[in-house]
Amino acid sequence: MFMICSLFIPSFTYFRILKMKYFLIAGEASGDLHGANLIKAIKQKDAAALFQFWGGDLMAAQAPGLAVHYKNTSIMGLVEVLMKLRTILSNIKKCKEQILVFKPDVVVLIDYPGFNLRIAEFCKKNQIKVAYYIAPKVWAWKENRAKKLEQFVDELLLIFPFETDYFKKWKVNATYVGNPLLDEIHQFKSDEHFISKNQLSAKPIIALLPGSRKQEIEKILPLMMQIAASYKEYQFVVAGAPSIEADFYKQFLEHNSKIVFTQTYDLLSRSTAAIVCSGTATLEAALFNVPQVCGYVANAITYAIGRPFVKVKYISLVNLILDKPSITELIQKDFNLTKLQEEFEQILPHGARHTQLISDYNELKRILGKEGASDRAAEKITTLTFTS
């Protein structure tokens, strides 16, 4: 027994102290955030790790190895994708070439399914291990992608509890690791100079989160500005996407509204209410206990083509996790001034839905569980290469 143990331990240690190579791919701001935490957690388990990645400034702050910034690759919507198909195909080709040159032990794909599933297939053909962190939302639409997950992904790391039951019907190694936003918010330290630094007044703050892509902001922010004109007792502050230049926002800002960059959590932690573009931001606002209205407007052609294929009842993560219409969702034509103002009134401190929303948020936190998602995901990823 002693001989077996003494043979095994040096062998395992030997592999652990190798300079393992990790190639990560994140295609948008939220992926950059989660990728940064993942890199940090991987370094704690593999101190000699080497990284190359497609991501953003947050990932670059954790390790050298930024190959392509997501601001040059983020494209959303069917029509927009078709218009930039040549660029997308060129990016996929470039990414494949970089993977072959880097020769990673593991490729870690973070959300971004249209791009990343192609890379997963390529990696499988080249016998490179693949971990997929933040699974494609195949439970919402394009369920055929689940077959690709079966074929090309070695480890699927889930961040929503309801995904666990869903993926049981597919032949894929799927594990719920928790939601990484819990880690982010747990680690968040408020900037005591936030108000003065951004020249904000003493009025209560309404947070405006119009999305992280230009095509979202162009459709959503103008209506947010119209709401701001009707509520002089509040100050409206826009959370700017770090990948978009400040000048782009200036054409929309009105009514003494302000914009802040890379300070979304400081903003939410001080907000009385929020109007939020559907996406990760709805969950962030909920975890900060900020009553919100969710809005979304897509390209009309994209929406008309895609809507029949969407299988879920809700578009916001809050409602999907709770499995009920907790926050109001105003989609396409419903995202108009009349309806938005009606719903906004309901979530203010004097509004009829304010108390219930806070109660729902507490239930949401209970369902999501504890912090530690990045650490648990890193553990799965760093041990993946040792499995056959």
Residues 6 or more apart from 307 whose CB is under 8 A from it? none
Closest CA to 93 of 110, 112, 68: 68
| Cα separation, 360 vs 326, whole angstroms | 7
Residues facing 239 on adjacent strands: 260
| Cα separation, 231 vs 66, whole angstroms | 43
Is the confidence at residue 10, as pLDDT, over 50? no
Collect contacts of 167-174 with beta carbons under 8 A, ≥24 apart.
Answer: 167/135, 170/146, 172/146, 174/135
Residues 166 and 292 grouped into a single domain: no
Task: Report helix, strand or coil for 301.
Answer: helix
Q: Write out pLDDT tens, residues 102-125.
A: 999 999 999 999 899 999 999 999
Domain containing residue 215 = 187-368
Residues 167 and 194 grouped into a single domain: no
Residues 59 and 88 grouped into a single domain: yes
Return the higher-pLDDT residue of 25 and 89: 25
Residues facing 330 on adjacent strands: 295
170 is written with which tokens?
């597919």
Residues 251 and 228 grouped into a single domain: yes
Grade residue 306 by pLDDT with cuts at 50, 70 and 90: low
Contact 34, 116 (CB under 8 A): no
For residue 285, how many C-alpha atoms fall within 13 Å in the half-sphere facing its CB?
Answer: 30
Residues facing 312 on adjacent strands: none
Is 364 within the bounds of a domain? yes
Q: How many domains does the chain have?
A: 2
Grade residue 2 by pLDDT with cuts at 50, 70 and 90: very low
Grade residue 310 by pLDDT with cuts at 50, 70 and 90: low
Contact 200, 238 (CB under 8 A): no
Is 89 within the bounds of a domain? yes
Is 15 within the bounds of a domain? no
Residues 159 and 216 grouped into a single domain: no
**Three-state secondary structure readout of 124-192:** HHCCCEEEEECCCCCCCCCCCHHHHHHHHCCEEEECCCCHHHHHHHCCCCEEECCCHHHHHHHHCCCCC
Residues 6 or more apart from 271 whose CB is under 8 A from it? 205, 206, 207, 237, 285, 288, 290
| Cα separation, 178 vs 182, whole angstroms | 8
Residues 209 and 138 grouped into a single domain: no
Give me the pLDDT at residue 1, please: 40
Q: Residue 271: what are its φ and ψ, rounded to 5°? A: -95, 145
Residues 133 and 31 grouped into a single domain: yes
Across the range 341-365, mean pLDDT stands at 97
Is 4 within the bounds of a domain? no
Q: Write out pLDDT tens, residues 22-44.
A: 999 999 888 998 999 999 999 99
Alpha-carbon dihedral angle through residues 158, 162, 164, 165, given to the nearest 10 degrees: -160
The CA-CA-CA angle for residues 67, 72, 74, to 5°, reads 110
Residues 105 and 238 grouped into a single domain: no
Residues 210 and 322 grouped into a single domain: yes
Across the range 324-347, mean pLDDT stands at 96
User: Strand pairing of 235-240 and 258-261?
Assistant: parallel
Is the confidence at residue 9, as pLDDT, over 50? no
**Could you tell me what percent of the chain has a pLDDT over 70?**
88
What is the average pLDDT value for the chain, to the nearest integer? Answer: 89
Region of poorest pLDDT, from 38-42, 59-63, 78-82, 190-194: 78-82
The CATH number of whichever domain residue 263 belongs to comes to: 3.40.50.2000
In angstroms, what CA-CA distances link 24 with 66, 217, 250, 343? 10, 27, 34, 40
